Structure 1
Amino acid sequence: MSRTHLTFPVEGAQCVATIDAADGRTGLLIVSGGNEIRSGPAGVNARLAARMAKRGFPAFRYDRRGIGESEGNHAGFRESGADLAGALAAFRKTAPHLDRVVAFGNCDAASLLMLESGGGADALALGNPWTFDTEDAAPHALRAHYRNRLKSGSAIKRVLRGEVNLVAALKSVIEMLRPAPKASGVAANMREGLARFDGPVAILIAGRDRTGQQFRGSWPKRDKRLMTCAKATHAFVEPESLEWLERKLLKLLESR
């Protein structure tokens, strides 16, 4: 296994990428999300790429325009389709032996893959897709969180024992009672985009992530592509969560 840094053009800007080389004919494209650089939170994407390459699957990750070392302006995930296309083309050019690519994106990177109907990838791993135009998803997730807390006897006992800040708790209850925000137009576009993709899909939800909880609550529960790692936080940074994510990605990488 070897790690190489390279650049590729996207509409006049140079984007920076890293490839962990391997001989396998199926590769992993790690799509950038939010404001995170290609190494990922706490280096999780870099570790994931190295582990996949060690198993024989080349892995490519990149900074989209305006993020990390890449040139240009950061216009958000809905305007990053060209970055995705450029990264996939660069991956195939750098690893010409590839005949299949699995794309993995977390949060709004998953949303981008859905909007772009995979963007030319052959299989998709979608982690905690972001379904709102603004930060309105966070209050909705908090409502669900506190509803569950209030249903538990332990929460009521904590209040009676004086272990809970009543002012803060009251604010949380008021927030919970507000109407839930409506999903944005982008959420409907994501559903339509994914419906046009005919390859294998895994929708991977972190059980302790509010974005994931929001998505899971709005998605058909009978969808067999939906899987949850109960103890995982948003970026799957815990060792056991990363191992779970790796197993799900390997299943896609090894399938045909």
Structure 2
Amino acid sequence: MRRLTTFDCDGATLAATLDEGEHATGLLIVSGGNEVRHGAHRGMAMLAQALAARGTPVFRYDRRGVGDSDGDNRGFAHASADLHAAVAAFRRLAPHVNRLHAFGNCDAATLLALEGRSAGINRVLLANPWTIEPTDDLPPATAIRAGYAQQLRDPAEWRRLLSGGIDIGKAIKGLMKIARTPSQPSTLATRVTQAIAAWGNDATVLLARDDNTARAFTDAARAHTLQTLTIDTSSHSFARAADKQALADIVTRWLAE
């Protein structure tokens, strides 16, 4: 059964959804960016329904200023209180849950990596953690580098270049960004990768193979040995039908470990 509910966070009323299940391990799903708790193309709602049908209680919520929740949206960096309040609400509504796992994509994964332990979460599955501190409107240098490498191996791209089908100005900007990007990871990237490493076996990273955010994370995490899974897709939110199924299979196996 799916229940709509609300809970308080620093005076704001936050909207949430509980998909009920009898298992003692519950899953908290945290939405990334300004995405509502239903997820891209209702992906997180569908995932919650499938897991609850197998007995796992699943709790989702809209952070302050997003979706049906009150308050000001100040981004993931200011959403620690929302996470803590959501955990408390989940435990209150499902008192039989004695182990709490959490899944988040993009900056929700970053939030969980940094704040999940203090919120009382036992294990985390972190999809495409956000490690980028934007300086312009171009993709991260890692993604540009990977894109150029792929294009150089493709004869069709050489024909596009010779026929004027490639934006030379944009290409030059991309090369300049690669040249000026320091080899050391950014402050955010360092904090996130170190935080994930500190979780040890309680953290698993899930990457969309051809997603720019995932590529940036992979580059930033080279100094660490992390538990990592990959879905062969370029969809950041695992929006395609095959991606949704692959994600559901991975989450199901991960919860059963």
- TM-score with structure 2 length normalisation? 0.89
> Does structure 1 retain, via aligned residues, the 8 Å contact 2:102–2:121?
yes
Q: CA 1:135–1:122 in 2, change beyond 3 Å: closer, same or farther? A: farther
Secondary structure class of the residue paired with 1:29: strand
Q: Which residue of 2 aligns with 1:254?
A: 256
Q: How many residues of Structure 1 are paired with residues of Structure 2 in the alignment?
A: 251
C-alpha contact (below 8 Å) 1:29/1:59 kept by paired residues: yes
Root-mean-square deviation (CA, aligned residues, Å) is 2.1
User: Any stretches of 5+ residues in structure 1 without a counterpart?
Assistant: none
Q: CA deviation at 1:24?
A: 1.0
1:15-164 to structure 2, matched below 5 A, reads: 15-118=14-117, 119-134=119-134, 138-140=139-141, 141-160=143-162, 162=163
Contact 2:190 2:220 in 1 (8 A): no
Identify the residue that residue 244 of structure 2 maps to in structure 1. Answer: 242
Aligned structure 1 segments of 4 or more residues deviating by more than 6 angstroms: none
- Tell me if 1:180 matches 2:181: yes
SS at 1:70's partner residue?
coil
Range with bigger deviation, 224-233 or 24-33: 224-233
Task: Give the TM-score, by structure 1 length.
Answer: 0.90
Q: Which residue of the partner structure matches residue 212 of structure 2?
A: 210
Tell me the CA shift for residue 180 of structure 1. Answer: 2.5
CA shift in 2, pair 1:65/1:221, >3 Å: same
Matches within 5 A, 1:164-175: 165-166=165-166, 168-175=167-174
Q: Aligned partners of 1:135 and 1:126: how far apart in 2?
A: 24
**Residues 145-200 of structure 1: CA distance to partner in whole angstroms, max 9, x if unpaired?**
1232123334224434x3x623x145224413432266432222223332433552
Shift of 1:40: 0.7
Q: Distance in 1 between matches of 2:124 and 2:224?
A: 19
Write the letter of the residue equivalent to 2:25: T
Identity %: 37
SS at match of 1:196: helix
Query: Which amino acid counterpart does residue 96 of structure 1 have in structure 2?
Result: P
Aligned partner letter, 1:226: T
Name the structure 2 match of 1:197: 199
Asked whether the equivalents of residues 131 and 189 of structure 2 are also in contact (C-alpha less than 8 Å), the reply is yes
- Paired with 1:249 and 1:220, the residues of 2 have a C-alpha distance of 24
**Structure 1: how far apart are the matches of 2:16 and 2:135?**
29
> Against the structure 1 CA distance between its residues 89 and 108, is the aligned structure 2 distance closer, same or farther, given a 3 Å change threshold?
same
- Cα distance in 2 between the residues matched to 1:46 and 1:85: 21
1:214-249 Cα shifts (integer Å, max 9, x gaps): 111222387351121122410011121112111221
- 2: distance between equivalents of 1:100 and 1:135? 40
Structure 1 window deviating more from structure 2 (107-116 vs 141-150): it is: 141-150
Q: Distance in 1 between matches of 2:87 and 2:59?
A: 9
Gaps of 5+ in 2: none
